[in-house]
Chains A and B, each alone.
Chain A
């Protein structure tokens, strides 16, 4: 018996710590909004406050930490907004539960950056059925039962990187491509865009490897490329950590090749890519926008009852040593 009490006590402490008391019904399915009177109140008054639920698929990646950060900063400018952040820790079931928790809590709007499309479509449907508008960020869900999708355009970013590479090398040179996880769509799109960007030039990709977005892998692959090729003019890396890894490899080789090879990265996080450009490590980085700030702008419009476009494609910003001090150069997304 003592043992059972101990278990109950531990459970009670744990639920206090995690801020969620034991719920009697976790799988109530499609009728979770019984006790959520404010969720249907879409017509706001001036002094009203709004609660936004933000479900992030994981906070392990710096880019996603930045997305939360952008949302927080943008929301801080609007005292009427309160944002509740949840981290699904890369678990789809957990993210499903989070959306349902937000519905049960009766938030006024949900922002979700989904881990997977199909399994999260149903919870989003449920939110829409409960009259809670949903903004989908970065990755899509199935169908079109959501209020607004906001996302970056990887093909555009890859194409801009390719064009800049042509400009940087004068239309001719030998390039190493350090890919992200080859099976992931962003890597495929960043590659496709880049090939479009260098089309018609005499730029040749002499070595290409799957680095799975990871810097240690990029560093190793670059070592192989360096020992194989005496002439490498530039490196196109699918993300900034990989570009930095390639730079480290060239520097640690000790032949001073880090000074002659041009490194281009993608993502442009303030503490990462942009900083590398400022330090002269990268020749350029292209922002993959998190959409956090835009999500809050769109949320405000939705909450004010305005109409918003169904899909918003974000442009990119180019950061080079010339413009990095002034915040980069904006490249808008093509219309349509």
Chain B
């Protein structure tokens, strides 16, 4: 019981998983539990990799007691930018990815500077960036989706770029989709950074007690800027994933994703007050959201019930977190 008490996130994930097995419909011919099939399991990881990527960056920002509302719009902007570079301008893959990452860094760093140097509330600074990035996405795309053949002057006309296909093709029975791998590698890297670097320890210090951190010699501004910058990078990676998964750059992509990313962080068990939590917890949170959505989708519930169920689960997760904090 103590183990479960300490690892509530894992316990919740297991509970959701078991629930999935119980209520899942069975394959009509083979009688397999659909929820358990490898295809279904790899689908969850694949479908939620964008949310997961956003949530990774969000975790770092939330650890500093901040919030990044811009990630969904940045995803949309990078998805259009990436598609624009490759499809409309014929830029080759390497430079296109590089430009997108640099753009993500720039946006993240701007958020960080606004928060750390100009002392603007994270909520306000990133809200402004959320609006501006959505504008940038529409500016790049001219209001339509950037797909091959959408405009007569596009360089790539007859088929989607090869990289789009390659990034989403299933290898090893669907387990090794490059988009999924990108997500998993990013989350492991981020977890290592947070756990084993000085920057990682500073994140907790800044989020736990900013003044104390400052007095003990932590460069608070630099830590915050770096956290937002990484959030910009993961949003850029999610944008590239979105373009590949959809087959085009949609200026509307990622709308409200920031809320799901925040939800994944919170459900995982990180505290919105900062200073408590971790990247692997976010993976658990993402999986819980992913599984819950998948179960509701498999059994074919209607939207109304789904939303209600999701609301209840989010509240439950936060309640569990609260009781733990009071006890400690």
Contact = CB atoms under 8 A, between A and B. Distances in A.
Interface in B132-148: 143-145, 147
A229 B145 contact: no
Interface of A is mostly: helix
Contact of A216 (B39, B177, B246, B298): B246
Contact of A275 (B29, B34, B147): B147
Given A59-B143, A65-B143, A252-B170, A228 B250 contact: no
B201 interface: no
A212 interface: yes
Given A65-B143, A271-B145, A210 B246 contact: no
Contacts of A169: none
Q: Report the interface size class on chain B.
A: 35 or more
A224 B143 contact: no
30 contacts: A59-B143, A62-B144, A62-B145, A207-B300, A208-B300, A209-B300, A210-B303, A216-B253, A220-B47, A220-B293, A223-B297, A224-B297, A227-B34, A227-B40, A228-B25, A229-B28, A230-B29, A245-B246, A248-B168, A248-B245, A252-B169, A252-B245, A253-B39, A254-B169, A254-B170, A254-B174, A271-B149, A271-B151, A275-B150, A279-B149
A229 B300 CA distance: 13
Contacts of B297: 209, 220-221, 223-224
B294 interface: yes
Nearest to A228: B34
B44 to A, nearest CB: 9
A292 to B, nearest CB: 15
A74 interface: no
For B39, B46, B145, B297, the residue with the greatest tally of chain A CB atoms inside 10 Å of its CB is B297
A219 interface: yes
B43 A223 contact: yes
Q: Would you list the 9 A-B pairs with minimal beta carbon distance, nearest first?
A: A254-B170, A224-B297, A210-B303, A271-B150, A227-B40, A65-B143, A223-B43, A224-B298, A252-B168
Interface of A: 59-60, 62, 65, 182, 207-210, 212, 215-216, 219-221, 223-224, 226-230, 244-245, 248, 252-254, 271-272, 275, 279
B200 to A, nearest CB: 32
Contact of B145 (A210, A221, A224, A272): A272
Given A182-B302, A207-B300, A219 B47 contact: yes
Given A182-B303, A208-B300, A212-B303, 13 more contacts: A62-B145, A210-B302, A216-B246, A219-B245, A220-B294, A223-B43, A223-B297, A224-B298, A227-B39, A248-B246, A248-B247, A252-B169, A272-B145
A60 B145 CA distance: 11
A244 to B, nearest CB: 7
A328 B151 CA distance: 20
B247 A244 contact: yes
A20 to B, nearest CB: 19
Nearest to B294: A224
Contacts of A60: 252
Q: Is the interface of B mostly helix, strand, loop or mixed?
A: loop
A18 B39 CA distance: 52
B209 interface: no
Given A220-B297, A271-B149, A275-B150, A215 B47 contact: no
Interface string B28-39: 110000100101
Contact of B174 (A228, A253, A272, A275): A253
Interface string B167-184: 011100010010000000
A210 to B, nearest CB: 4
B27 interface: yes
A221 B145 CA distance: 22
Contacts of A210: 302-303
Contacts of A59: 143
A216 to B, nearest CB: 7
Interface in B288-327: 293-294, 297-298, 300, 302-303
A315 to B, nearest CB: 25
Nearest to B40: A227
Contacts of B177: 252
A244 B168 CA distance: 15
B161 to A, nearest CB: 14
Nearest to A275: B149
Nearest to A215: B246
B257 to A, nearest CB: 9
Contacts of A226: 39
Interface string B229-269: 00000000000000001110010110000000000000000
A290 to B, nearest CB: 14
